Chains A and B, each alone.
Chain A
Amino acid sequence: MSTDDIAIIGVGMHPFGRYDGKSALQMGEDAVIDALGDAGVAWGDVGSLWASSMEVFNPEAITGLLGLTGIPARSTFTGCASGGNVLAQAANSVRLGEADVAVAVGLDKHPRGAFSAHPSVSGLPDWYGEAGLFLTTHFFGMKINRYMNDHGISHETLARVAVKAFRNGERTGYAWRNKQMSVEEILASPVLNYPLRQYMYCGPDEGAAAAVVCRADQAHRYGGTPVFLKASTLFSRKEGAFELLSPSLPIEADLSPTVYASRAAYELAGIGPEDVDVIQLQDTDAGSEIIHMAENGFCADGDQEKLIAEGATEIGGRMPVNTDGGLLANGEPVGASGLRQVFELTTQLRGRAGGRQVEGAKVGYAQLYGSPGTAAVTILST
């Protein structure tokens, strides 16, 4: 959807991590209050709300904490792509004339440890779970293993992605994992799903993020510094795509939904990857960041080996990726993660990222990917 008619006028975040005794809705409340303050908008002036969460059945119940004003408040969940989706739905609400100002919020609070569910929720038979095959992490290990084999990516390059994430996390200050680690330390951590090691994976955690949107031509009425939504796309998998939780795949392959979401987003925004100044990619694991660099058009398959060694994806490099440490440093509260990307890009485009600022950033790009094979891309500009 072409979206240069929508402005983001405020963003807010409850840092991701572990917060015993604080509920997901309370973290969401903090994020929305933060975003409203940033926008210079009173809650009473908000006309609609979209919320996403994996653990909270009705995250739109956040109105109970913010104020019961009777507005349309809805939720939607599209796995790891949820944050991009609720931002798009809030924008649509404004575009449709339902509201002058709309709020998108994501919030979550995951139990410790690997995600666990019954296979039937993904349309899979019981035995698939009994046999120990119902684990999304298998996909991440298998996809990067094949990719390394085909395109000459080394284990050291996987480790360098994690090194960068924790270094950026340290610069960000509020990141969950903010202690620098060396390539050697990361390669010495235990393998969880070959070739992926402990510190090459993000962990599920807790947190919330929010954005406030309005019509671009009305943005001047509010106090915040607007950035503009240039594109917002979401694609589900096509037959033949190599996807999570697939007991079988056709021999004839199709491309990842990320590739379709990315191409459509560039077309809507009228730009190409060379025009992007600051990048957020879904780094569920270090391998995903490497693969997503190519799937989103930032390099050819295999070029990551050289680009990452040269520092191209670092702050100060020519394609800075995950400047706030991404999922690897912040963890993933699934419903909130996409809006963390939007928070970081907005902060960068406003020039307010402090020690992690990408100089002169004017165009930001965010990609999400997750179960059950859903990808979303958001492009923002000053």
Chain B
Amino acid sequence: MTQVPIAPDLFTWPSDSPSLIAGKGSDGKLEFPYRSHRLVGGVREELEKVELPRRGTLWTFTSQVFRPPAPPYAGNDDVKSFQPFSVGYVELPGALKIEARLTEPDPDKLSIGQEMELRIVPFGLDADGNETMIYAFAPVQDGDTA
């Protein structure tokens, strides 16, 4: 099955070590997701694409135990087959706090401040039957190298 990003310009893909893509203005401020322009000092400015760090710390998290209202939710599941997931903010040092799905669904196995790393994981299916890929953060296991 062909794997495609859930949306363009979210992360570098395909890649052995993918990164999230942010927009950077001449004031140095970062924005995720990337957008082509914003006001900088009151003037419309095109933003530069920059790659964000792949590792950070878990700033906070919560869980989603019931299937979100669909639409807009478009997971490849139904009310019965839905699998609970976690959502959190991961603080990427010197960059941004990023809201993301977490690969660990059990809140009791997560803790604020723990180290997390970016993953690109399968999410659902697009209209052409391709597998859509989305960014998520996974707890760093002992022995993982940065």
Greatest chain B CB density within 10 A among A118, A141, A143, A192 is at: A141
- How many residues in B have their beta carbons less than 8 Å from beta carbons of A? 42
User: Which of B25-33, B41-49, B137-145 has 4 or more CB atoms under 8 Å from chain A?
Assistant: B25-33
Q: Are A138 and B87 in contact (CB under 8 A)?
A: yes
Q: Are B95 and A251 in contact (CB under 8 A)?
A: yes
Greatest chain A CB density within 10 A among B61, B66, B68, B75 is at: B68
Residues on the A chain within 8 Å of B73, using CB: 129-132, 134
Q: Is chain B's binding surface mostly helix, strand, loop or mixed?
A: strand
Q: Are B32 and A247 in contact (CB under 8 A)?
A: yes
Greatest chain A CB density within 10 A among B73, B86, B91 is at: B73
State in angstroms the CA–CA spacing of A135 and B30 once bound together.
24
In A83-127, the 8 Å CB interface with B consists of 113-119, 125-127
Q: Are A192 and B66 in contact (CB under 8 A)?
A: yes
In A134-154, the 8 Å CB interface with B consists of 134-135, 138, 141-143, 145-146, 149
Residues on the A chain within 8 Å of B32, using CB: 247-248
Interface readout for A256-294 with B: 1 if CB under 8 Å, 0 if not? 000000000000000000000000000000000000000
Q: Is A194 an interface residue (CB 8 A)?
A: yes
State in angstroms the CA–CA spacing of A134 and B30 once bound together.
22
Q: Are A194 and B63 in contact (CB under 8 A)?
A: yes
Given contacts A127-B10, A246-B99, A251-B95, contact A142 B75 (CB under 8 A): no
Q: Is B13 an interface residue (CB 8 A)?
A: no
Given contacts A131-B123, A135-B64, A138-B62, contact A114 B112 (CB under 8 A): no
Q: Are B88 and A132 in contact (CB under 8 A)?
A: no
Residues on the A chain within 8 Å of B120, using CB: none
Residues on the B chain within 8 Å of A225, using CB: none
State in angstroms the CA–CA spacing of A143 and B62 once bound together.
9
Q: Is A250 an interface residue (CB 8 A)?
A: yes
Residue of B86, B96, B101 near A131 (CB, 8 A) is: B101
Q: What is the minimal beta-carbon distance from B141 to any residue of chain A, in angstroms?
A: 22
Q: Are A247 and B63 in contact (CB under 8 A)?
A: no
Residues on the A chain within 8 Å of B40, using CB: none
Q: Are A135 and B97 in contact (CB under 8 A)?
A: no
Residues on the B chain within 8 Å of A195, using CB: 62, 107
- The 8 tightest CB contacts between A and B, nearest first, are A129-B72, A141-B62, A116-B69, A146-B60, A194-B107, A130-B74, A248-B32, A127-B7
A131-B123, A249-B89 known; 7 other A-B pairs, CB under 8 Å?
Answer: A116-B68, A126-B7, A131-B73, A131-B75, A132-B85, A134-B68, A138-B64
A-B contact pairs, 6 of them (CB 8 A): A113-B69, A133-B101, A194-B63, A194-B86, A247-B32, A248-B99
